[in-house]
Amino acid sequence: MASSTKLLTKIPHSFHSLYPTKITLFDFATVQSFNFLKNFSSNADSNIFHNFNFDSFFANLIDNSPQKNNLAQVHAKFFLLGIQQRGFLITKLINAAVNLGEIGYARKVFDEFSDPDVFVWNAIIRGYSKYNLFAGAIEMYSRMQVLWVSPDGYTLPHVLKACGGLPSLKMGQQVHGQIFRLGFEKDVFVQNGVVAFYAKCGKIASAKVVFERLEIRNVVSWTSMISGYAQNGKPIEALRIFGEMREMGVIPDWIALVSVIRAHTDVEDLEHGKSIHSFVIKTGLELESDLLIALTAMYAKCGQVMVARSLFNQMKVPNLILWNAMISGYAKNGYADEAVKLFRDMISRNFRTDSITARSAVLACAQVGSFELARWMDNYISKSEHRDDIFVNSALIDMYAKCGNVDMARIVFDRTLDKDVVVWSAMIVGYGLHGRGREALDLYQLMNQAGVRPNDVTFLGLLTACNHSGLVEDGWQLFHCMKDYGIEPCHQHYACVVDLLGRSGYLDQAYDFILKMPIEPGVSVWGALLSACKIHRHVTLGEYAAERLFSLESYNTGHYVQLSNLYASARMWDRVAKVRVLMREKGLSKDLGYSLIEINGKLEAFRVGDKSHPRSKEIYEELESLERRLKQAGFVPDTYSSLHDLNDEEMVETLCNHSERLAIAFGLISTAQGTTLRITKNLRACINCHSATKLISKLVNREIIVRDANRFHHFKDGVCSCGDYW
DNA sequence: CTAGGGTTAG
3-state SS of A303-316 is CCHHHHHHHHHHCC
Q: Which residues contact A346 (CB under 8 A, 6 or more apart)?
A: A323, A327, A353, A357
CA distance A395 to A263: 27
Is the minimum distance from the CB of A256 to strand B below 7 Å? yes
Q: Which among A345, A407, A410, A403 is positioned nearest to A374, based on CA atoms?
A: A403
Gap from A295 CA to B5 C1', Å: 12
Q: What is the pLDDT of residue A34?
A: 56
Lowest mean pLDDT among A54-63, A168-177, A392-401: A54-63
Which nucleotide is closest, CA of A301 to its C1'? Answer: B7
Q: What is the pLDDT of residue A401?
A: 95
Cβ neighbours, 10 Å, residue A139: 14
Gap between the terminal Cα atoms of chain A:
96
Residue A680 has phi, psi (to 5 degrees) of -120, 130
* pLDDT tens-digit series, residues A64-110: 888 999 999 999 988 888 888 899 999 999 999 999 999 999 999 99
When pLDDT is cut at 50, 70 and 90, the band that residue A154 belongs to is: very high
Is the minimum distance from the CB of A196 to strand B below 7 Å? yes
CA distance A644 to A646: 6
Gap from A210 CA to B9 C1', Å: 35
Report which of residues 367-386 in chain A place their beta carbon less than 7 angstroms from any atom of strand B.
Answer: none
Gap from A377 CA to B1 C1', Å: 45
Q: Please say if the pLDDT value at position A47 is more than 90.
A: no
* pLDDT tens-digit series, residues A574-610: 888 888 888 888 887 777 788 888 888 788 888 887 8
Q: What is the pLDDT of residue A623?
A: 86
CB of A409 closer than 8 Å to CB of A401: yes
Report which of residues 103-162 in chain A place their beta carbon less than 7 angstroms from any atom of strand B.
Answer: 119, 122-123, 126, 129-130, 153-154, 157-158, 161
Q: What is the pLDDT of residue A582?
A: 86
Is the minimum distance from the CB of A219 to strand B below 7 Å? yes
Report which of residues 93-112 in chain A place their beta carbon less than 7 angstroms from any atom of strand B.
Answer: 95
* pLDDT tens-digit series, residues A391-441: 999 999 999 999 999 999 999 999 999 899 999 999 999 999 998 999 999
* pLDDT tens-digit series, residues A493-544: 999 999 999 888 899 999 999 999 999 998 999 999 998 998 889 999 999 9
How long is chain A? Answer: 726
Rg (CA), chain A: 34
Burial class for A322, CB neighbours closer than 10 Å (0-12, 13-18, 19+): buried
Is the minimum distance from the CB of A255 to strand B below 7 Å? yes
Q: Which run of H or of E encompasses A443?
A: helix A437-449
The CATH code of domain A381-586 reads 1.25.40.10
Higher pLDDT, A669 or A651: A669
Q: Which among A562, A549, A588, A531 is positioned nearest to A650, based on CA atoms?
A: A562
Report which of residues 398-427 in chain A place their beta carbon less than 7 angstroms from any atom of strand B.
Answer: 398, 421-422, 425-426
Average pLDDT over chain A, rounded to whole?
A: 86
Q: What is the pLDDT of residue A608?
A: 80
Per-residue pLDDT, averaged over A171-191, amounts to 94
What is the domain partition of chain A in residue ranges?
Answer: 381-586, 596-720
